[in-house]
């Protein structure tokens, strides 16, 4: 089923509007192209309604907020809701500042979101109104581990039920839930944390998977998470002596580009809870 989700992206080539941060915008575009989708970026209020109207999905990333982009997020989100397109929120750094936390909370309250994807500290900030973060990275005290897995699964399920959208928590162990079922995913490499923007890239890719698989959003979100993690593993296996994190970033994108449904099914490591 997860492999079929990837194949549907490659077959339908969904156009995804990305209001994302300027640190990672180029990599987000390249990952979308690599997985079979098509990216378009705009954060100008006079532009975003028209751009969203021609797309099949929208990802909103709050990594580098300003007042113009905040206005655009709400305009684009409301237009996507009118068109019944999936909207994904990436609450980068929620909990690190009042502006980020409050903006993410408003987006969650005022838009109909299909999915929220973030690290555990960001998700806790949305759920609880405050959190401890290390910049835009998860605080080690919040980490999902085998010791905390049961209560972490219960937490994300409860938050999914409360919000009515898929919650995807990514880290050493990834959790993806619709409030009833939860994928516990163990793909990925710790070295992925040395590259800026793998989470942003995943959010863009997940929006494409959601757009291409409207009848199975939970499986689509889990497939995207498995695909990114598997690409991190494949990319690391292809590293050569002298390669560094810049090469690793490119190898991850190459791995996504070369990934097919059968390989994803074989590489994906998960359990359902």
List pLDDT tens digits, range 115-124. 999 999 999 9
Query: 133 pLDDT exceeds 90?
Result: no
Question: Rounded mean pLDDT of the chain?
Answer: 94
- Model pTM score: 0.94
Query: 134 pLDDT exceeds 70?
Result: no
The helix or strand, by DSSP H or E, that contains position 112, with its residue range, turns out to be none
Is 28 within 8 Å of 70 (Cβ atoms)?
Answer: no
Q: In sequence order, what are the residues at sequence separation of 6 or more whose Cβ sits closer than 8 angstroms to the Cβ of residue 132?
A: 95, 121, 139, 141, 142
Model confidence at 141, in pLDDT bands (50, 70, 90)?
A: low
Q: Which of 59-63, 131-135, 213-217 bottoms out in mean pLDDT, i.e. has the lowest?
A: 131-135
Q: What is the DSSP letter of 146?
A: T
List pLDDT tens digits, range 73-116. 999 999 999 999 999 999 999 999 999 999 999 999 999 999 99
Q: 152-159 — which CB contacts under 8 Å span 24+ positions? A: 152/120, 153/177, 153/182, 153/184, 153/273, 155/124, 155/127, 156/123, 156/182, 157/182, 159/123, 159/126, 159/127
Per-residue pLDDT, averaged over 214-218, amounts to 97
Model confidence at 142, in pLDDT bands (50, 70, 90)?
A: confident
Model confidence at 128, in pLDDT bands (50, 70, 90)?
A: confident
pLDDT at position 10: 98
Model confidence at 135, in pLDDT bands (50, 70, 90)?
A: very low
Query: What are φ and ψ of residue 230, in 5° steps?
Result: -65, -40
pLDDT at position 26: 96
CATH superfamily of 2-272: Ribokinase (3.40.1190.20)
List pLDDT tens digits, range 53-69. 999 999 999 999 999 99
List pLDDT tens digits, range 9-49. 999 999 999 999 999 999 999 999 999 999 999 999 999 99
pLDDT at position 106: 96
The percentage of residues in the chain with a pLDDT greater than 70, rounded to a whole number, is: 96
């Amino acid at each position: 089923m997860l492999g079929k989700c990837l194949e549907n992206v490659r077959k339908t080539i969904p156009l995804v509007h990305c209001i994302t941060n300027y640190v990672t915008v180029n990599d987000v575009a390249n990952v979308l192209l690599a997985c079979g989708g098509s990216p378009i970026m705009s954060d100008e209020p006079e532009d975003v309604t028209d751009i969203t109207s021609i797309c099949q999905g929208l990802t909103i990333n709050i990594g580098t907020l300003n007042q113009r982009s905040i206005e655009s997020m709400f305009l684009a989100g409301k237009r996507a809701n009118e068109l019944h397109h999936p909207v994904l929120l990436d609450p980068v750094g929620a909990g690190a500042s009042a502006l980020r936390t409050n903006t993410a909370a408003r987006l969650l309250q005022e838009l109909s979101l299909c999915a929220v994807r973030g690290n555990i500290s960001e998700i806790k900030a949305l759920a609880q109104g405050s959190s401890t973060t290390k910049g835009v990275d998860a605080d080690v005290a919040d980490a999902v581990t085998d010791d905390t897995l049961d209560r972490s699964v219960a937490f994300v399920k409860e938050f999914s039920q409360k919000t009515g959208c898929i919650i995807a928590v990514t880290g050493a162990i990834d959790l993806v839930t619709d409030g009833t079922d939860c994928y516990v995913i163990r793909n990925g490499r710790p070295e992925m944390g040395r590259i800026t923007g793998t989470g942003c890239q995943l959010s863009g890719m997940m929006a494409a998977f959601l757009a291409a698989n409207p009848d199975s959003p939970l499986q689509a979100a889990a497939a995207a998470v498995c695909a990114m993690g598997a690409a991190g593993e494949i990319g690391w296996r292809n590293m050569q002596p002298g390669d560094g994190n810049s090469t690793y970033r490119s190898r991850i994108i190459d791995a996504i580009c070369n990934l097919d449904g059968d390989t994803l099914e074989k590489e994906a490591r998960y359990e359902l809870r």
